[in-house]
């Protein structure tokens, strides 16, 4: 059975169904992009491909254009990055834009060069000798984007952390605390080695069981209909996309054919560490733009990461030489029990009417070095949806002389003992989600902030909800005193009660940034300053910290995008920053039980009544 005969095309001897406009780039397309770049003759033979992704077609005109790719090209000889957009059908270059500042994401080349020069470096070797090590091959060297360093615009810098046990079952359990090397990758040189003093190396190897179980494909759920990357389940329809930088993207999310979200994705992450030591204070990782949530996506383990009946999709990303690399089982789609949907016990008859709910989950798990992040989109039968983040993996720790807490943590309690001679550092995880909502058939939406306050009168226990309409782009923060939430409505479409149809953004756990107000972490990741941002839709604004935040002299992103543009009745985009403060516990070691945090979008007047009475 061939459902799409008309769109069959013939590629390199194999018959393939032509991709739909918002599908992820296929391996064939990634390789075709590379061929087009090479044929153009405009770049050197040693040019690198830190990012290859879909240049999405214009909103509302998805079928009007051939598939385009967006490619970041990095020339090591000149340290120049160029963003190229090219037409995959013709191979023609559509645009070519040099990047003024900032660095593309970390590549294998950075890791290879940096670990090689550090291993050979006499100062690093002396630091290891000082700690009693005479052989230099059993160290795991971990490469980090460097954080902000003034006056290095023309150099690609990385920092290198050292751990004992290259082949250990837990490469992050035994940090060589005190030693961090700074490397200029293109010069192939160690610029400096910072040694803040010898601390004990944790004695325990921090082993945990691995592997969990063999991956296998089991019987798949019949209730989920997947055609290519298009998904239908219960009354929901959506399209799955995938991006090397941000991981899973979802498109055209609708319920009963009524549009809710045009596009949803993670846009950026920032993970600042709160230790004052000079070897720690720079640590603030942009996991999307510096490492790539798609590039770091790992195959799902059936039966443990996801249930046995999960439908899995393979995805492809580019290697730095531009060739496609396939990630098997990169995305999972499954149904799970959704708990109680609604219930009432009738007092007059004693009879209970109740319904059990089901949920659809679209999930993937990037592993960024020591941390694993499961990002899931959840769809419920009552028309609500959620973004869930599960945080697990191994905490970033330091060796310490402390073996037991003696009247407090360290002097300033910026780290906490999690095992003998192992202290894990306070840190935060900030996820920024970009949600382009188009409520019920219209891009012209309205953004309301809803605060509930006491009615100042002699009316007893009265309290009232007050709506504030956002006329222009802006930002907002939670307010416990008013049970604040936010609503996005279609002002041109009332329900049967005259209320404009809409969705409420209902937050859960959320922490503000806790690094100092003038800290580098906050200057670089401006999106962490507020929980909610609203901007007018701009096709080139996709990332909360801007296009190239790494090493950027002048960080951009949401604090620049919010610029006074009118948004009322316009096509607007909501950005949500979810902050988690992680104060390490012994139970988080050696591998951390999942910490869950989420954001909900619930229908508010979108339906005329409870939509699941059947
Ligand atoms: Cu954490």
Those residues whose C-beta lies under 8 Å from the C-beta of residue 291, and which sit 6 or more positions away, are 105, 106, 145, 285, 368, 369
Structure tokens at 355: 């319904």
- Specify the higher pLDDT residue, 507 or 317: 317
* pLDDT (tens digit per residue) in 373-383: 999 999 999 99
pLDDT (tens digit per residue) in 91-104: 999 999 999 888 99
Q: Mean pLDDT across the stretch 292-319?
A: 96
pLDDT of 294 above 50: yes
Q: How far is CA 535 from CA 431, 445, 516, in A?
A: 18, 12, 26
DSSP state, residue 131? T
Torsion angle in degrees (nearest 10) through CA of 59, 63, 65, 66: 120
Distance separating alpha carbons of residues 292 and 105, to the nearest angstrom: 7
pLDDT digits (tens, 9 = 90+) for 363-416: 999 999 999 999 999 999 999 999 999 999 999 999 999 888 765 455 568 999
DSSP string, 423-483: EEEPEEEEEEEEEEE-GGG-SEEEEEEEEEEE--SSSTT-EEEEEEE--BSEEE---GGGT
CA distances from 554 to 278, 520, 558 (A): 23, 12, 13
434 CA → ligand 1 middle, Å: 22
Annotated active-site positions, please?
287, 371
Cα–ligand 1 centroid distance for 136 (angstroms): 30
Q: How far is the CA of 555 from the centre of ligand 1 (A)?
A: 24
CB within 8 Å of 41: residues ≥ 6 apart: none
CA of 286 to the centre of ligand 1 (A): 14
What pLDDT does 307 receive? Answer: 95
Percent of the chain topping pLDDT 70: 94
pLDDT by residue (tens digit) across 71-127?
Answer: 999 999 999 999 999 999 999 999 999 998 889 999 999 999 999 999 999 999 999
Query: In the Cβ-directed half-sphere of 243, how many Cα atoms lie within 13 Å?
Result: 23
Tally of CB atoms within 10 A around 401:
10
Calculate how far, in angstroms, residue 285's C-alpha sits from the geometric centre of ligand 1: 12
Contact partners, residue 427, CB within 8 Å, separation at least 6: 271, 272, 273, 274, 396, 582
Q: What is the DSSP letter of 29?
A: H
Lowest mean pLDDT among 400-409, 461-470, 481-490, 585-594: 400-409
Please tell me the distance from the alpha carbon of residue 241 to that of residue 243, in angstroms, as a whole number: 7
Please determine, for residue 217, whether its predicted confidence score (pLDDT) is greater than 70.
Answer: no
Mean pLDDT of 279-303: 95
- Write down the pLDDT at residue 16: 59
Give the whole-angstrom CA distance, residue 380 versus residue 358: 7
Across the chain, mean pLDDT equals 93
Task: Note the helical H segments in 297-343.
Answer: none
* Average pLDDT score over residue span 285-290: 94
Structure confidence by residue, pLDDT tens digits, 454-467: 998 777 889 999 99
CB 307 within 8 A of CB 334: yes
Give the Å distance between the CA of 139 and the centre of ligand 1.
24
Report d(CA 414, CA 269) in Å as an integer: 22
- Taking 80 as the threshold, does the pLDDT of residue 60 lie above it? yes
Distance 361 CA to ligand 1 centre (A): 23
Beta strand 474-476 with 367-368: parallel, antiparallel or unpaired?
A: unpaired
Provide mean pLDDT across the span 331-341. 97
Residues with CB under 5 A from ligand 1 (ion): 582
Share of the chain above pLDDT 90, in %: 85
Burial 291-322 (b: 16+ CB within 10 A, else e): bbbbbbbebbbbeebbeebbbbbebbbbbbeb
- Rounded CA-CA distance 80/186 in Å is 11
pLDDT in tens, 221-251: 678 999 999 999 999 999 999 999 999 999 9
Residue 592 CA to ligand 1 center (angstroms) comes to 9
504 vs 431: CA distance, rounded Å: 19
Ligand 1 center–CA 435 separation, angstroms: 24
- Among residues 59, 47, 53, 46, which one has the least CA distance to residue 88? 53
* pLDDT at residue 470, rounded to an integer: 98
Contacts of 452 (CB under 8 A, 6+ apart): 463, 464, 465, 466, 482, 483, 484
């Amino acid at each position: 059975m061939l459902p799409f005969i008309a769109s069959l095309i013939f590629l390199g001897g194999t018959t393939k169904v032509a991709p739909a406009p918002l599908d992820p780039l296929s391996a064939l397309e990634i390789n075709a992009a590379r061929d087009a770049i090479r044929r153009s003759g405009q770049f050197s033979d040693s040019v690198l491909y830190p990012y290859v992704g879909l240049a999405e077609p214009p909103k509302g005109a998805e079928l009007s254009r051939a598939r385009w790719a967006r490619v970041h090209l990095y020339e090591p000889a000149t340290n120049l990055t160029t963003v190229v957009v090219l037409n995959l059908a013709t191979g023609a270059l559509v645009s070519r834009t040099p990047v003024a500042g900032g660095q593309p994401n970390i590549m294998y080349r950075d890791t290879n060069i940096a670990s090689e020069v550090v291993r050979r470096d006499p100062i690093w070797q002396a630091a290891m000798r000082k700690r009693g090590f005479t052989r230099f091959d059993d160290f795991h060297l971990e490469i980090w984007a460097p954080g902000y360093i003034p006056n290095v615009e023309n150099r690609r810098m990385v920092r290198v952390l050292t751990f004992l046990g290259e082949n250990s079952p837990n490469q992050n359990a035994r940090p060589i605390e005190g030693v961090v090397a700074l490397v200029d990758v293109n010069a192939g040189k160690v610029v400096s080695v910072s040694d803040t003093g010898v601390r004990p190396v944790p004695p325990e190897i921090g082993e945990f069981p691995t592997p969990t179980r063999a991956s296998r494909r089991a019987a798949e759920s019949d209730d989920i209909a997947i055609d290519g990357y298009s998904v239908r389940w219960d009354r929901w329809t959506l399209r799955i996309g995938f991006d090397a930088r941000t991981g899973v993207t979802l498109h055209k999310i609708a319920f009963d054919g009524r549009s809710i979200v045009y596009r949803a994705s993670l846009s950026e992450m920032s993970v600042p560490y709160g230790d004052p030591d000079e070897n720690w204070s720079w640590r603030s990782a942009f996991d999307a733009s510096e490492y790539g949530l798609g590039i770091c996506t790992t195959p799902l383990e059936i039966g443990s990461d996801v249930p046995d009946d999960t439908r899995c999709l393979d995805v492809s990303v580019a290697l730095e030489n531009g060739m496609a690399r396939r990630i098997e089982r990169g995305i999972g789609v499954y149904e799970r029990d959704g708990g109680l949907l609604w219930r009432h016990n009738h007092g007059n008859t004693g009879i209970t009417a109740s319904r059990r709910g089901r949920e659809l989950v679209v999930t993937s798990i990037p592993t960024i070095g020591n941390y694993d992040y499961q990002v899931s989109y959840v769809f419920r039968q009552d028309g609500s949806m959620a973004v869930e983040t599960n945080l697990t993996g191994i905490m970033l720790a330091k060796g310490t002389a402390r073996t037991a807490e003696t009247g407090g943590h360290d002097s300033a309690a910026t780290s906490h003992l999690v095992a003998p001679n192992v202290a894990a550092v306070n840190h935060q995880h900030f996820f920024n989600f970009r949600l382009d909502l188009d409520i019920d058939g219209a891009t012209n939406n309205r953004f309301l902030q809803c605060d509930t306050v006491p009615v100042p009168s002699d009316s007893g226990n009265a309290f009232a909800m007050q709506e504030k309409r956002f006329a222009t782009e802006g930002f907002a923060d939670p307010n416990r005193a008013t049970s604040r939430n936010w609503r996005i409505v279609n002002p041109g479409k009332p329900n049967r009660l005259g209320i404009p149809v809409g969705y409420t953004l209902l937050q859960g756990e959320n922490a503000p940034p806790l690094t100092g107000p003038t800290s580098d972490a906050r200057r670089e990741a401006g999106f962490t300053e507020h929980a909610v941002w609203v901007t007018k839709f701009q096709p080139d604004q996709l990332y909360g910290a801007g296009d190239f935040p790494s090493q950027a002299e002048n960080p951009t992103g949401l604090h620049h995008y919010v610029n006074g543009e009118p948004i009322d009745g316009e096509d607007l985009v909501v950005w949500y920053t979810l902050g988690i403060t992680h104060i390490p516990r012994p139970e988080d070691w050696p591998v951390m039980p999942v910490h869950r945090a989420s954001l909900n979008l619930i229908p508010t007047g979108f339906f005329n009544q409870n939509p699941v009475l059947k």
